Amino acid sequence: MANETTFSKTYTIGGDLTVNRMGYGAMRITGEGIWGPPKDHDEAIRVLKRSVELGINFIDTADSYGPHVSEELIAEALYPYPEDLVIATKGGLTRTGPNVWPINADPDYLQKALEGSLKRLKLDRIDLYQLHRVDPEVPYEKTLEFLQRVQEEGLVKHIGLSEVTVEQIEEAQEYFDVVSVQNKYSVDFRKWEDEVEYCIENDIAFIPWNPINAGNVGALEKLQEIGQKYDASAHQIALSWLLHRAPNILLIPGTSKVKHLEENYKALSISLSEEDLEELDEIKQSEK
């Protein structure tokens, strides 16, 4: 392929956690609506084991996935963990039913959430603990003070944020080093472009959730067209674009099937041409 580009396949979080940029998001190994146990428990375990076999050493989860189910499955499948495996989890969302996600970033609640995550994952310290959402009902500084405290106590190594603005990142930086930002972002959803650029400039990991946004039919057609050149699916091209977009972007596509996991991982070996990257850059944004 003419004018092929190259990209780094690893990234170092917080200066000391080097991970494969193709990670795994463990939300989908739960039941429908991200509620309860998976339909196929054995396949969920196979997915987790296969992810490590492929070379994935960054797994993203949350106490609210299930709730608790995702963390429990990770420990069941992978504990004792490989030495290089980084497990990132989150706190700040509660669950009242399928597809329902009330926010609670009150320090008392977060304390219980963190203690639960440590117990379920069988860890003494979380490598990357992320605030799942800023709570409009709780003073932001109170949440930040909690995160600062548990880091000082050694319960978490590094701290990240999710669905935050540049201003919220900068406010948090007054309390601790923000090493990751997890916002919704994809080839056709770029609401958080300023935040991506801020993370690039400040060497903060940017972890796009919903990296394969299905809301834009025009984008899908373009992704399929480009995919034909590389014998790749639209999903693989969407993931590859993110890998090319910036060296600090870590991918966490989620799936409950080994076959899909392996297909996603192949995106790591696609080197898009400069011309195709330019075409993808010009995709019209979806509002979904």
The DSSP line for 207-223 is --BS-S----HHHHHHH
Q: Each residue of 110-132: pLDDT tens digit?
A: 999 999 999 999 999 999 999 99
Identify whether 2 is part of a domain. no
Q: 286 lies in a domain? A: no
- C-alpha distance from residue 85 to each of 18, 55, 127, 171 (Å): 10, 10, 9, 30
User: Which DSSP letter does residue 285 get?
Assistant: P
| CATH number of the domain enclosing 93 | 3.20.20.100
Count structural domains, the chain: 1
In a domain, 24, yes or no: yes
Classify residue 4: in a domain, yes or no: no
In a domain, 179, yes or no: yes
Query: Average pLDDT in the 260-287 region?
Result: 92
pLDDT, mean of residues 10-36 = 98
Which range of residues forms the domain containing residue 213? 10-281
Q: What average pLDDT does the segment 24-46 reach?
A: 98
Main-chain dihedrals φ then ψ at residue 88, nearest 5 degrees: -105, 130
Question: Above 70 in pLDDT, residue 200?
Answer: yes
Confidence of residue 288 (pLDDT cuts 50, 70, 90): low
In the predicted model, is pLDDT for residue 100 greater than 50? yes
Supply the angle between the helices 274-281 and 217-230 in degrees, to the nearest 10: 170
- Average pLDDT in the chain: 95
Q: How many residues in total does the chain contain?
A: 288
Tell me whether residue 5 is in a domain. no
Residues 122, 30: Cα–Cα separation, whole Å? 19
Question: What are 39-52's pLDDT values in tens digits?
Answer: 999 999 999 999 99
What pLDDT sits at residue 214? 61
pTM: 0.96
Would you say residue 1 lies in a domain? no
246 pLDDT higher than 90: yes
Please report the pLDDT score of residue 216 as a whole number: 72
Catalytic residues: 65
Which tokens hold the place of 96? 């009242």
| pLDDT of 1 strictly over 50 | no
Within a domain: 20 = yes
